[in-house]
């Protein structure tokens, strides 16, 4: 695909700066490149000193890496964001209604909109959640919707993250770094704030406390521990919210409540923001070998003694095979046409779709149904014949484990290089808070950028970086 066919968010299709970038471009043209290079080094140093890192699994080299950060912001107009947030709100409401339905009456299955086997044979479906009514009726308290852009008004949802979406700490640190290094830019551009996310998160979680809660709800963050790839974020959010960061061994079930160990003894918890996967949450109900969870927590949860955010079993909503049904899901539960488009998706579990995928593998992106982080995927146009042949064998062996999508012409955003600005492909993960009070979409989100020229893979685990995302006040 030629560069002139790719939409650049700063320049569009022509050599003319788009309106959201006009103020920034005037500032950039007056800046000394030497100063900007120094600022980029300063940003790298800040990230290193703050400890903004992530772990890479399955590699022989050093596990811990610095998150690459680019100082050129991604800028979205207020009118663009209004349309996006409207679509995100609709989609998140539909996801929550879908999860409630499949664990209760399964009306969408009865209506023939989704095959029963997509639910019953889905490894993310938890029978233990059947009939469970979470406090406030909320299953997905924190959601991350991954978006890509292909044109001025063309946004697609790439995937839904309804289990434990990560990356919000990078969004907040990116903004803090930019405010510290370029305060003049924020006085010249009316950028909507994201810094109040931790306050909003705690308020949203507290609003989901069980009915039996007395006084101010006690909130805590459950982490698998320091070796988890997102441990920095767990500690960061607990600190920013002013709540305790706990591990499984800090908790126990006592008098029908989940209590955490403190210097004053054990204190009951009302809301637990867990960053532990379902399988390891409760060794009495799930994986008996787990040392990360709390024995008996599911029994307390089912009795209404604690709120778990996000609810167990929400993973079925970010299954990539279920994703292909999202237009039907949105319409079924909201009665509206989806405001945000899905990427056309081939389900390899269906013989007709599998035949098409096998015959057009070099043109498609293939993903594992339960995959994440860019692992286990194939980007056909960037793959060798040997890689294509190997993946073709995987597809034939386990077709139900994969979906395929066309290769989209992802938009680009400039990054700062030694030779000036250069376009790189990006995606966007806005963060959404859900409570009985409603849906709140943080204005901005995490922009992930493929730092390698021509690459479409933006995941940090695969060499991508991040940049600050500005939503302007129109």
Ordered per-residue pLDDT tens for the chain, 474 residues: 446 689 999 999 987 999 999 999 999 999 999 999 999 999 988 888 876 655 554 544 445 667 889 999 999 999 999 999 999 999 999 999 999 999 999 999 999 999 999 999 888 999 999 999 999 999 999 999 999 999 998 999 999 999 989 999 999 999 999 999 999 999 899 999 999 999 999 999 999 999 999 999 999 999 999 988 889 999 999 999 999 999 999 999 999 999 999 988 999 999 999 999 999 999 999 999 999 999 999 999 999 999 999 999 999 998 888 999 999 999 999 999 999 999 999 999 899 999 999 999 999 999 988 766 556 788 888 889 999 999 999 999 999 889 999 988 899 999 999 889 999 999 999 999 999 999 999 999 999 999 988 888 787 666 789 999 999 997
pLDDT at 57: 47
DSSP annotation string for 169-214: HHHHHHHHHHHHH-HHHHHHS-BPP-TTHHHHHHHHHHTT--TT--
pLDDT at 121: 87
Residue with tokens 């498609």: 364
Stated pTM of the model: 0.92
Nearest to 273 by CA among 160, 95, 138: 138
Q: Determine whether 265 is exposed, middle or buried from the number of CB atoms within 10 Å of its CB (0-12, 13-18, 19+).
A: exposed
Contact 185, 470 (CB under 8 A): no
Domains identified in the chain and CATH numbers: 23-343+408-471 (no CATH), 346-407 (3.30.1490.270)
pLDDT at 67: 80
User: Which own/partner pairs from 419-425 qualify as long-range (CB within 8 Å, at least 24 positions apart)?
Assistant: 420/33, 421/10, 421/28, 421/72, 422/453, 423/3, 423/6, 423/8, 424/449, 424/450, 424/451, 424/452, 424/453, 424/455, 425/449, 425/450, 425/455, 425/456, 425/458
pLDDT at 52: 67
Buried b (16+ CB within 10 A) or exposed e, 302-314: beebbbbbbbbbb
């Amino acid at each position: 695909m030629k560069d002139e066919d790719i939409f650049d968010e700063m320049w569009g299709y022509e050599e003319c700066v788009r309106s959201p970038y006009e103020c920034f471009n005037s500032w950039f043209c007056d800046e000394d490149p030497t100063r900007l290079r120094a600022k980029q080094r300063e940003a790298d140093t800040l990230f290193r000193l703050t400890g903004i890192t992530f772990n890479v699994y399955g590699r022989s080299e050093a596990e811990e890496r610095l998150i690459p950060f680019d100082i050129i912001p991604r800028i979205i107009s207020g009118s663009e964001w209004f349309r996006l947030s409207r679509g995100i709100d609709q989609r998140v409401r539909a996801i929550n209604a879908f999860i409630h339905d499949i664990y209760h009456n399964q009306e969408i299955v009865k209506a023939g909109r989704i095959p029963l086997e997509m639910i019953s044979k889905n490894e993310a479906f938890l029978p233990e959640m059947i009939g469970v009514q979470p406090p406030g009726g909320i299953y997905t308290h924190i959601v991350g919707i991954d978006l890509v852009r292909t044109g001025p008004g063309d946004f697609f949802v790439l995937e839904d993250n309804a289990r434990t979406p990560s990356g919000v700490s990078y969004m907040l640190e990116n903004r803090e770094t930019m405010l510290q290094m370029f305060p003049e830019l924020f006085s010249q551009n009316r950028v909507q704030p994201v810094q109040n996310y931790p306050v909003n998160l705690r308020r949203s979680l507290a609003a989901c406390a069980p009915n039996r809660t007395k006084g101010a709800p006690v909130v805590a963050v459950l982490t698998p521990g320091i070796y988890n790839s997102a441990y920095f974020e767990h500690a960061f959010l607990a600190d920013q919210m002013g709540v305790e960061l706990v591990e499984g061994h800090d908790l126990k079930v006592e008098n029908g409540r989940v209590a955490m160990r403190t210097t004053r003894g054990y204190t009951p918890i009302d809301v637990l923001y867990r960053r532990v996967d379902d399988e390891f949450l409760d060794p009495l109900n799930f994986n008996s070998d787990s040392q990360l969870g709390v024995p008996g927590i599911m029994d307390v949860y089912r009795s209404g003694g604690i709120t778990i955010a996000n609810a167990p079993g929400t993973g079925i909503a970010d299954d990539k095979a279920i994703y292909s049904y999202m237009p039907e899901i949105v319409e079924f539960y909201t009665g509206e046409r989806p405001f945000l488009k899905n990427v056309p998706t081939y389900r390899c579990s269906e013989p007709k779709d599998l035949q098409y995928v096998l015959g057009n593998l070099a043109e498609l992106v293939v993903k594992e149904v339960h995959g994440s982080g860019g692992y286990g995927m194939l980007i056909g146009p960037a793959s060798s014949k040997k890689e294509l042949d190997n993946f073709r064998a995987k597809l034939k062996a386990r077709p139900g484990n994969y979906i395929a999508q066309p290769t989209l012409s992802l938009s680009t955003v400039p990054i700062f290089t030694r030779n000036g600005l250069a376009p790189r492909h990006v995606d966007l993960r806005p963060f959404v808070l859900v409570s009985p009070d409603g849906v709140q979409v943080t204005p901005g989100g995490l922009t992930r950028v493929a730092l390698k020229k021509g690459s479409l893979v933006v995941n940090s685990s695969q060499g991508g970086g991040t940049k600050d995302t500005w939503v302007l006040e129109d």
